[in-house]
Structure formats: C-alpha cells, structure tokens
Structure 1
Amino acid sequence: MNAIRHDFRSDTVTRPSPGMRAAMAEAEVGDDVFGDDPTVKLLEQRMAGLLGKDAALFVPSGTMSNLLGLMSHCGRGDEYIAGQKAHLYVNEAGGAAVLGSIQPQPIAHQADGTLALAEIEAAIKPDDSHYARTRVIALENTFGGRALPLAYMHAVADIAERHGLGMHLDGARAFNACTALDIDIGTLAARFDTVSICLSKGLGAPVGSVLVGRADLIASARRTRKMLGGGLRQAGVLAAAGLYALEHNVARLADDHRRARQLAEGLARHGALSVSMPDTNIIWVDSAPELAHGLSVYLAEHGVGVTGGYGQKQRWVTHLDIGDEDVTAALAVVDGYFASGRAPS
C-alpha cells in the first residue's frame, strides 16, 4: 500500500502550519490548574465573547467537552435527548452513561439530519418516579456535514423552554455551519446553554476543544474536568494554537466547502456512485458493497486516503491541508479506477 499523499480521511489529520507552530513556541504559559496560564485564559475569554456566553473551559478533546456539557446539565439517573446517530451518543464510548450515569434517549434522524419536533416533544418524560428525568436536548451542527437551519434550532429551543430543559450543542464543526448558513457563531449559539467547539477539526489546531456556556454550568464542568483527569498544566502552548486558528483559519473554511463541492461534482460523474452534494466539507459516497470495497482498495494503492466503515458509504473530507491539486489528483485516480476494468459491472 502506498503512503497517503492526498488525505481526505478527516479534517483531524491537519498539521500545524509554520505560523501556528511559531505561536505555540512563543506562548506565555503558567499552571492552568492554579488558574495561572494567561494564554488559556485568553482563549477561554475569546471563545466566550465570540459566542456571547458567560464563560468557557479549554479541554483536551471534543469527547470530553460533550461529556462535561451533559454532566453539567444532568445528575445520576437523569436523561438527555439526542439523535440516534449523534456523535455524543454513538461515537463517544457511552461516556455519559458509564461515567455520568446519564441515560440517553435517542431519536431517529430525518433525511435532512434533523430530529422531528413532535418526536422530541413526545420523548420528554413526565415528572414520574418510573422515568429518568429529562434534563437537556442535545443537537449536533454540523451533522454529518449538513448545516442544520437556524430556524430549526430555534424551534427545538422553544420546546426546551416550554419544558424547562437545557440545550447543548455539539458544535465540533460549528464554524463550518456558520460558513454554510452565512451567520456568525454568536447567532448560531444564542439559544444553547452549553456549546462544544472543536479546535482540531476544520480549524487545524493539533489538540483541544472549548466548552462555552452559562457561568454555573462551566463552573460545574471545570470541577468535573478535574475528576476526569482533564486538568492541564502549562497548556498555553496548546491554547495558542487555538487562538491562532480562530484568527487565521475560520474565514478560509469557505475554501474547504468549495473544494468539497468540486470533489462531489467530479465523483458524481460516475453513475455507479451516489454522491451527496455537501453543505460544508464532508461528502458521503454510496455504492454497491463490492464497488465500495474495490474503490477503497484502489484509492489506497494510489495514495488517496478516505474513510470507510459506514456500510457501503465512504466519507471524504476536505480541510486546510487539501488544495485544488489534491482534488484534481483524487478525481483522476477515481477516473482511473473506472477506466481500469477493475470496477464491478
């Protein structure tokens, strides 16, 4: 198998740019467990200000950020509502249940990635000792690369408000959603009590997420972060990468979206591939199982990395380390596969 030269597996594979590395090397640091790291403080203040929230907490990962968000809303025996395919339900090792004793209530996704409003409301439990207590509704935006509309998020928040529930946003790629929806991050976050923002996906930082929200919830999350082993010492070297990303890597997300559209249109030239036209930087490609396997093998042989493991689907992701030349090269490899005679007829 050849080395990966054109890496579309995820936007987590990016490497710090020279400018980001310089910012990390020059960062002023202190012991963040004592509250002494000025760069971490600056990142947290910057994120809280951008989202229009009281406070923020820098953490090692999006998985920890989502877990802290849920645990700040919920106690043992409480419940959160989320999508059946939501990352915090499916892909985070059941942490909310295992570590927080929080019961998930999954809701099936609609074709557009939303959860039906009536199904959300029907899933909210009455105040009855037979049931777990519903405490929070968790949305994900983007979801599988789809940007959920602002009006939809407001409609879910209206349900939460009627029932006295909290709202949590898994906004791992929230800046991608803002780019697609042409809104600012404060507008996206306005109706949520807690928001998790990942710095190491489309924004290109090597490590870290930030949980942003109401002061009491962030204070609770800070305490729980310590219990989970997430207290960091001279973390300013990492926070500096996040600050650099916010300054330099948000506006350029539109380039990732443009390249994803170009890539999707090129893949869709092949009738055997069913290609979802992307809202943001994630493309889903569906095909017959034998074709999906053969194409994945051929791509790997020719140095193109994609992610499988989604049944018959491949996931292609554009990011700041993917240029126009990578898109052109990858499409040439796909064209070569179909011209080679190796594709099942």
Structure 2
Amino acid sequence: MTVADFIDLASDTKTRPTAAMRAAMAAAEVGDERAHEDPSVNRLLERCAALLGKEAAVFLPSGTMANEIALAVHCRPGDAVLCDATSHLIGFEGGGPAALAGVMIEPIAGRRGIFDASALRAAIRADVPHAPRQRLVVAEQTSNLGGGAVWPRATLDEVAATAHEARLATHMDGARLLNACIASGVAAAEHARGWDSVWIDFSKGLGAPGGAVLAGTRAFCDEAFRIKLRWGGAMRQSGIIAAACEYALDHHVERLAEDHANARRFAGLIAGAAGITIAADDVQTNLVYFDVEAGGAGAFVAALQARGVRMVAMGPSRVRAVTHLDVDAGAIERAAAVVRALCEEKRRNAS
C-alpha cells in the first residue's frame, strides 16, 4: 500500500499544506512578530478581528494555547470556569486549566456538547467565600465530542446574556467555528457577538500547518499578548505561517461544505452495516461518530488501519471519523467499503 492509498480520517489536523499554500508561504513578507513588525501577521490579525467582530486579535501557535491564554486573562487562580462536560478544555488540553491558569472546571451536562441558558442558570451560585468564584462561561463551537454539533445562534445569545447578567465573562472555543458558519449560513461575527473572546483554528479543516487567532477587546488582547510571551508563544518571523492562514481564508473556507457532504455520505454508507450503530441524521459538519460492539473500538480501529483506513477510538465502543480537504469523495467511498467489509467479516466469524 502506498502513502497515496492510505485514507486518514483520524482528524482534520492531519491535513497537509497544498502546493499553492506552500507557494504563498514561500513568498510571505515577514518581520519580527514579537515586536509587531511582521506585516503578514498584522494583516491576518486585522482580517480576523473584523471576521470575528472584535477590536483586536493575537496570533498564536495553537488553539490549545488560545484557550489556555483566554482562561488566564479572564480568571485568577482558584476561580471556576463553567463549560459543557464534554469540552475540549476538560479532556484534551493536558490539565492546562489547572496547571497554567490555576482554575477549577465546573462541568454542565448538556446535550451533544451544548447546554442552554436554563442549565447555566442552574449551575450559577451566589458568590460566597467558601466556594470558588465563578468567573467564566465557555462554549465550544462546534462541539467535538458532540459529533460536530453546531450551537444555534439563539442558544449562544441566550447563554451569553445569562452569563453577563451574572457578571461572568464569556469565551468561545472556536476551533471549528468556520465549519459552524458554513453549516448554518451564519457569519462568524454573529456567532461570536455575545462572547467576550473567541478564536479560530487554521490547522484543522482550513488546512494550514499551524496557527490560531484569538480575538477580543484591545485590553484583553494586550494581556493575552503578555501571557503569550511569558509562555514562549512568540514565533518571530511567523509571517510564513500567517501566509498559510490567510491563504486558507481565501481558498479553504467555502470548501468546508465538501467535507460536510462527505461526512454525511460516509455516515449514510456505513449505516446498517453489521454491528454498527450510528445516528446518521445527526451529522451536521465534518465529524462522524459511531458505535461498534461493546468494548471493541480499539480492535476495530486497529483492523481498519491494517486495511489502510485510520480512525480513532473515542471510548470503549465509540469510533470517530473526520473528513477534511485531503480526503475526497472517492476516498470516502473506499473507506466506507472497507468498514462494511470489515463488519461483514466480523459477522461471518461470529456466526
């Protein structure tokens, strides 16, 4: 099997820069980003601040750093952050909220990674000395463990208003915000309008090799930049990466619709395969989750990889496949055929 034959559906972070993106990177005008002298970075920040409807923005190496810096700016050690129980903050950032910002996480049980204003009200308590001070509410758009579910704009507005009424700040983990924009037809600034800070990731569906932009008020971003330097996030001539991000904004946003269509197609093709349980109608963006036999996810993804298709076990029985720009419709058809063949082989062996 050649590298070209391998179908990688493990994550949209597996994308590689296209030839045209590489050319844009090679041609990038650069300067010292730490001193605000990189013209490519400065142009990207102005563009992203406008895109997200915020005063200013900060360029960062990764989305995880964007989340962690936002917590450190909004909160003080010992404060509490309210977010959905399935949030990226809890499960995929190496304990960063506690280790870096010194905050406690107070999870809210939502549905598919989304909680509403009533659930938030139930979680908000009086500010008393013996309990952690609640300081921040976080929403993840789209919800990863929610299967790429899109927060409705009305829900975002109501949750943000409820938080602000309780004098809590708001932060949007916008790792796949542009997927939500394409799926919903709602502009990024509209999704983020009630949220004090928000970021977008360029290394997922947009296909850049790295980079994230965190946006908010000028004062918020000034403090975020200070923490970025403290944590070693300055990248000097980072216009090379910023050029890839700007290329992605120009060429890879609208095409996210192809990833969504491929995800729906994949879900439909494997629905009904022996031993698979999937809610195909729940696929809204580029994430597809399904269940296999109890405790069998690890063996299932290992068997798939041996056949040239990579997915990820997200629990004892849960499997995730993620579509992206390196996987076209033909590859989706082939991947689904491999899944169906494996399921049929397991069915025959069991009987």
Fold shared per TM-score above 0.5: yes
TM-score class, shorter-chain normalisation, is over 0.9
Verify the 8 A CA contact 1:62 1:196 in the aligned structure 2.
Answer: yes
For residues 101-112 of structure 1, what are the structure 2 equivalents within 5 Å? 101-110=102-111, 112=112
Between the aligned partners of 1:298 and 1:77, the Cα distance in structure 2 is 45
| Secondary structure in 1 matching 2:131 | coil
1:180-221 superposed Cα distances (whole Å, 9 cap, x missing partner): 111111111111110021110010000111101111111111
Closer/same/farther in 2, CA of residues 54 and 317 from structure 1, 3 Å limit: same
Determine which of 170, 183, 190 is the counterpart of 1:187. Answer: 190
Verify the 8 A CA contact 2:296 2:316 in the aligned structure 1.
Answer: no
State the partner residue of 1:288: 293
Name whichever of 137-146 and 122-131 sits farther off.
Answer: 122-131
State the partner residue of 2:252: 249
Closer/same/farther in 2, CA of residues 290 and 193 from structure 1, 3 Å limit: closer
| Cα distance, 1:290 vs structure 2 | 5.6
Unpaired stretches in structure 1, ≥5 consecutive residues = none
Between the aligned partners of 2:50 and 2:343, the Cα distance in structure 1 is 50
| Cα distance, 1:272 vs structure 2 | 2.1
Closer/same/farther in 2, CA of residues 268 and 177 from structure 1, 3 Å limit: same
Between the aligned partners of 1:94 and 1:292, the Cα distance in structure 2 is 25
Letter in 2 for 1:63: T
Between the aligned partners of 1:293 and 1:317, the Cα distance in structure 2 is 17
State the partner residue of 1:310: 315
Between the aligned partners of 2:294 and 2:350, the Cα distance in structure 1 is 10
For residues 198-217 of structure 1, what are the structure 2 equivalents within 5 Å? 198-217=201-220
Determine which of 331, 334, 338 is the counterpart of 2:343. Answer: 338
Between the aligned partners of 1:335 and 1:76, the Cα distance in structure 2 is 50
For residues 26-105 of structure 1, what are the structure 2 equivalents within 5 Å? 26-105=27-106
**Percent of paired sites with the same residue:** 40
Unpaired stretches in structure 2, ≥5 consecutive residues = none
State the partner residue of 1:115: 115
Letter in 2 for 1:128: V
Between the aligned partners of 1:344 and 1:109, the Cα distance in structure 2 is 37
| Cα distance, 1:343 vs structure 2 | 5.5
1:27-47 superposed Cα distances (whole Å, 9 cap, x missing partner): 000111111111111111110
| Secondary structure in 2 matching 1:46 | helix
| Cα distance, 1:2 vs structure 2 | 8.4
Verify the 8 A CA contact 2:174 2:201 in the aligned structure 1.
Answer: yes
| Cα distance, 1:271 vs structure 2 | 4.6
For residues 267-282 of structure 1, what are the structure 2 equivalents within 5 Å? 267-277=270-280, 278-282=283-287
Verify the 8 A CA contact 2:79 2:133 in the aligned structure 1.
Answer: yes
Between the aligned partners of 1:237 and 1:276, the Cα distance in structure 2 is 41
| Cα distance, 1:99 vs structure 2 | 1.3
| Cα distance, 1:294 vs structure 2 | 4.4
| Secondary structure in 1 matching 2:12 | coil
Letter in 1 for 2:140: E
Letter in 2 for 1:5: F
Q: State the TM-score, normalized to the length of structure 1.
A: 0.95
Say what the alpha-carbon RMSD is for the aligned residues. Answer: 1.7
State the partner residue of 2:302: 297
